[in-house]
Amino acid sequence: MKAHLTRRYWFAASHRLHSEVMSEEENRRTYGKCNNPYGHGHNYALEVTVSGSVDPATGMVCDLVALDRFVETNILEKFGHANLNALAEFRGAVPTTENICTLVYDVLEKGFRPASVEKVRLEETMLNAFEYAGERGLRI
């Protein structure tokens, strides 16, 4: 029996939406206020969904302490209170919700072993969120 577990985290970070492959004018037109050279911040809500069978001994899909520790060390400590544009992970990439979300998915997928990563959902504001379920998620 496969079950899903979703855990929610928060972090605050700043960014500027600006693409190196577009002109200043195109950047302003595409990103509007989000292209402001001084950047701006968000309180991101991050949801990580993992799956597995329910362990008969613990009654859990995955050790929550292990998941928390992994996310804390590999995501929250790195992205929390950071200027995302300055991180090596976003060199050459615009730190949009889409790119942050897929990056978080890849970090979990590559490094977290106690359970399978199903989906990552990232809320940037109350009005927008993005979710990514890996390449599998693109199959129709």
Contacts with Ni ion by CB under 5 A lie at 34
- Rounded CA separation 51/73 (Å): 21
Closest contact distance (angstroms) between CB of 97 and Ni ion is 8
Is 18 a residue of the active site? no
Is 124 a residue of the active site? yes
Nearer to Ni ion, 52 or 80 (CB): 80
Residue entry with tokens 């855990």? 7
Catalytic residue among 40, 81, 89, 131: 81
Nearer to Ni ion, 112 or 132 (CB): 132
Nearer to Ni ion, 34 or 129 (CB): 34
Identify any residues that bridge with 51 across adjacent strands, giving them in sequence order: 4, 116
Identify any residues that bridge with 40 across adjacent strands, giving them in sequence order: 15
Closest contact distance (angstroms) between CB of 127 and Ni ion is 11
Catalytic residue among 62, 101, 118, 124: 124
- Rounded CA separation 35/124 (Å): 16
- Rounded CA separation 31/12 (Å): 20
Q: Which of 67, 49, 51, 60 is nearest to 112 (CA)?
A: 67
In 3-state terms the chain splits into helix, strand, coil percentages (rounded to 5) of 40, 30, 35
Catalytic residue among 34, 47, 89, 131: 34
Residue of closest CB approach to Ni ion: 34
Closest contact distance (angstroms) between CB of 15 and Ni ion is 6
Is 98 a residue of the active site? no
Closest contact distance (angstroms) between CB of 91 and Ni ion is 19
Active site members: 34, 81, 124
